[in-house]
Structure 1
Amino acid sequence: MVKRKIVFRRKKRENRLSMLLVTMVVLMVLAVVSIRSMELRQKQQGYQDQIKQLTQQIEEETQRTAEIEEYEKYTKTRKYVEEVAKDKLGLVYDGEIIFKPEN
């Protein structure tokens, strides 16, 4: 009977040790998973910021494209041709008088 108690105590101690080891492993895995989870959240936030920035750039470029198209339409008008002829080439209509300020 005494021998049986000793064997029972030894098994109980071994069982506690194995449970402690399993608990430690589980806690370590939990810590690693938590740390990786935080890193992934930070990456996700960075990607969301990048998406917002790129979306804003797309909107700006779309607006710029619309402005360029409007300017292209304007360059095809007679008014634009007259402005360029007057400003850059110095051309005037017959009978038109131009006054220039003295410097």
Structure 2
Amino acid sequence: MYLVLIICGVIFYQKENLDKKRIVYQEQKEELQQEIDAETEYAEELEERRAYVQTKKYVEEVAREKLGLVYKDEIIFEPEK
């Protein structure tokens, strides 16, 4: 009789430990899923950026801003200092 009670007590104790571990693992899984989602979104942004930098508009932007280039027939007005 006592042996059955001891076995039941051990089983109940192990069940509680497993439930706690399951909750911790579930929280870790949710955190990792959030990280995966964030990285997926970042990868999409990078893909959009990669496509944009291959456009003529981007090349013109860089030429104007960083190199100061303009078209031959373009007139630039600079404010007086």
User: Shorter-chain TM-score: what band?
Assistant: 0.7 to 0.9
Q: Structure 1: where are the runs of 5+ without partners?
A: 1-22
Query: Could you tell me how far apart the structure 2 residues matched to 1:102 and 1:55 are?
Result: 56
Q: CA deviation at 1:102?
A: 6.5
- 1:59 paired residue number: 37
Higher relative contact order (CA 8 A, sep 6+): 2
Structure exhibiting the larger radius of gyration computed from Cα positions: 1
Query: Could you tell me how far apart the structure 2 residues matched to 1:85 and 1:67 are?
Result: 23
Bigger fraction of residues in helix: 1
| TM-score, normalised relative to structure 2 | 0.84
> Identity percentage over the alignment?
46
Counterpart among 69, 72, 79 of residue 47 in structure 2: 69
Aligned pair count?
81
Q: Structure 2: where are the runs of 5+ without partners?
A: none
Matches within 5 A, 1:7-86: 23-86=1-64
Query: Could you tell me how far apart the structure 1 residues matched to 2:8 and 2:78 are?
Result: 83
Q: CA RMSD in A?
A: 1.8
Could you list the structure 1 runs, at least 4 aligned residues long, displaced by more than 6 angstroms after superposition.
none
| TM-score, normalised relative to structure 1 | 0.68
